[in-house]
Structures are given as structure tokens and as C-alpha cells.
Structure 1
Amino acid sequence: MTDDTAAENASDGISPDTKDWTWVVERSCPECGFDPTAVDPLAVGAAVRATVPVWRAVLARPEVRRRPAPGVWSPLEYGAHVRDVFRVFDERLALMLDADGAEFANWDQDAAAVEGRYEQCDPAVVAEELTEAGEAVAHRFDAVRADQLERVGRRSNGSVFTVRTFGRYFLHDVEHHLSDVRA
């Protein structure tokens, strides 16, 4: 990336996403077509693994740093976000499996993007880190037993998930962002 491109990306602020996306655990997303009822809660690991090669291909694109419009993340920024989503959801799933009623610390995805300087990341490094984080969270989902599907976790804003709905919510995020980068 040239210094001009980095400066352009850094100066082109992204509006924080303030939507409450928790509804995607119950009904299809009209933006990306994700159907939560099609998610097998015991096959989330396999579904995650299926997205990793697609994300790697996105991160290998020549135009990976280019934002498609002002205020819209580049494919690189989305890839770095998904890498971090893998990490955060792995931690949260571990909490849910360790203690029913787990409470999650707040994660500000927009602050993480700024602090992590997503627009300046090396796409090859992000691809490797995304692969590693994707395998880790997939492995943790693989270990979920049927008798753990109704264990509860709570976000700092009060949203409540079961392991079952948590998997749906998580997969929607990953797949929705593939739609965002047209993969």
C-alpha cells in the first residue's frame, strides 16, 4: 500500500455499526441471505472451516486494500475483523462451555479496527492469523456436545445466547462479511 492509500483509508472514517443483529438467530438476513434455521448446531466447526479458504482467496486479491466506497471497509479490513471475530467468539464459547450463565466482556469492534490499524495490516499475515483463529474456534465448536447446546452466555448489553443461538449469530457474522466483500 502506498502512503497515499494508507492516508486515504485512515482519513475516510467508518461509521460505527450500532445495529442490534441478534435477530439473525431467528430469521433470515435479507442482506446476505443467511438462514439461521439451516445451521446444524453441532456442525458449526465444519461451517467455519468451509469459509477459511474463501477468506484466504479474498485476502490474496490484488485490490484487497481498496475500499469500494467511502465509509466502507476494504476486503483487508473485513478479513482482519473476521480474524478478530474468530478469536473473540472462541473465547466466549469457552466461557459458555466452562460456566452456564457466562458473561462476556464488551468488545467494541470499531475500536478494535482503529487500534488494530486494520487498513495497514499485511494481507498475507492476516490470512495466516485468520486461518489459525478459524481452526481454533472450529475446534472448540467441534467439541460442543448436544447436552451443552442450551448453556447460556450474556453480552454486556444484556443480549442472551444459548450455545445453539451463539453458533448461528457467529456464523451469520462470518458469512455476512463474505457477502460484503462479494465472495
Structure 2
Amino acid sequence: MTDDTGGRETEREGIRDGIVPDTKDWTWVIERPCDECGFDPTGVDPLAVGDAVRATVPAWQGVLARPEVRRRPAPGVWSPLEYAAHVRDVFRVFDERLALMLATDGAAFPNWDQDAAAVAGGYAQADPAVVATELADAAGAVADRFDTVRADQLERVGQRSNGSTFTVRTFGRYFLHDVVHHLHDVRA
């Protein structure tokens, strides 16, 4: 894949590696269906998020096996490989955040800049086979952690650095939407 930004930020504010950052606030997906991908948060069993995460892994493995996995579908849009590397990291970040929520009610999450992570992590240059293994491992870890959630922990609270507050229940919905939505993004 060729990228005319050379892996650095361009003059246009915020553009890194040719990708325009997603600055939308997606927290509304904890309450109502997503028109883009069809995800319905009301159908999420908060005690079955682990199984739902595991169910996405075969689709991600299929994405990473595509011959065109490195091809960006349009300027400014991540390739399937970049989306998969992002989802791998989403699994890792959400695993850490869930651990914080389960250990400390009212946990504060450290900031995570997904666009900076994409550049620093070399998503576009990653080896798809390595990402496939890492994604499966990270999915297993976060799924296992969600499996430990008890009904009496569903209302524990965590807060992002931007002030968005989640309960374990809504956190699972928000997280699962991200994974499902990105499968939609890569047409899987």
C-alpha cells in the first residue's frame, strides 16, 4: 500500500497516515440501534458478552486471510488489516478497562488515542498472520474477563477521560458495538 503522507501528520489538522480521525461520540449506541451496522444494544445479554466476542473471531480471521487485506477501499479509510489491528487493540484496551471497573467502582480510564495507536503500532505495515494470532488471543482474554462478571457487578461504574460514564452493563454494549461495527466496515 502506498501512502503519500509518509507516516506523519499532514498540514490538515489531525490527519495521520492519510486517515481522518473519527471524532464522533458513539456513546449513543448503548441505548439505541446503529443504523449503519444494525447492532441493537437492547439485545445484548450483559452476562454473555464473552461468548459474543468469541463469535466474532472467525469473521476477523476470514478478513485477515483476504488477498487484498492491505488495500484501503478509499482515501482516508483504513484497510481491513488496519481495522483488524485496531480491533485487536480494542480488545486489549477494553480488557484493561473492564479489569479496572471490576476492581474499583468509579474507575477512571486512561486516555487512549486510537489514531495515534494506529500510527505508533504500524497497523498498515503489520503482518496479517501475526495480527490474526494476536487478535484471537486478545479476544480470548477480554472474553474470559467478561465471563467473570457477576450480576451484582453490572452497575459498577467507569469513566473515560472525556467524561463519558459507563456501567459494566453499558460498557459491554459499547464495546461489542465497536467490534461488530468494524466487521461491517470491512464488509465481513
Give the TM-score normalised by structure 2. 0.93
The answer as to 2:68 corresponding to 1:63 is: yes
Question: Aligned partner of 1:84: which letter?
Answer: D
- Whole-Å separation in 1 of the counterparts to 2:5 and 2:38: 29
For residues 21-56 of structure 1, the C-alpha deviation after alignment (integer angstroms, 9 at most, x for no partner) is: 000000000110000000000000000000011101
User: How big is the shift at 1:100?
Assistant: 0.3
Q: Secondary structure at the match of 2:166?
A: strand
**More helix as a share of residues:** 1
Structure 2 unmatched runs, 5+: 8-16
The answer as to 2:161 corresponding to 1:159 is: no
Q: Which has the higher contact order (CA 8 A, sep 6+)?
A: 1
- Whole-Å separation in 1 of the counterparts to 2:104 and 2:183: 32
Match of 1:119 in 2: 124
- Whole-Å separation in 2 of the counterparts to 1:166 and 1:118: 25
Q: Identity percentage over the alignment?
A: 80
Q: Secondary structure at the match of 2:27?
A: helix
Specify whether residues 182 and 127 from structure 1 end up closer, same or farther in structure 2 by C-alpha distance, changes over 3 A only: same
The answer as to 2:21 corresponding to 1:16 is: yes
Match of 2:177 in 1: 172
The answer as to 2:93 corresponding to 1:82 is: no
Match of 1:31 in 2: 36
- Whole-Å separation in 1 of the counterparts to 2:103 and 2:124: 35
- Whole-Å separation in 2 of the counterparts to 1:36 and 1:138: 18
- Whole-Å separation in 2 of the counterparts to 1:39 and 1:153: 19
Specify whether residues 173 and 10 from structure 1 end up closer, same or farther in structure 2 by C-alpha distance, changes over 3 A only: farther
User: How big is the shift at 1:7?
Assistant: 3.8
Question: Aligned partner of 1:145: which letter?
Answer: R
The answer as to 2:113 corresponding to 1:134 is: no
Give the TM-score normalised by structure 1. 0.95
Find runs of 4+ consecutive structure 1 residues off by over 3 angstroms: 6-12
For residues 36-91 of structure 1, the C-alpha deviation after alignment (integer angstroms, 9 at most, x for no partner) is: 00000000000000001110110000000000000000000000000000000000
- Whole-Å separation in 1 of the counterparts to 2:185 and 2:162: 25
- Whole-Å separation in 2 of the counterparts to 1:159 and 1:7: 34
Match of 1:53 in 2: 58
User: How big is the shift at 1:6?
Assistant: 4.2
Structure 1 unmatched runs, 5+: none
RMSD over aligned Cα atoms: 1.1
- Whole-Å separation in 1 of the counterparts to 2:183 and 2:135: 13
The number of residues matched between the two structures is 179
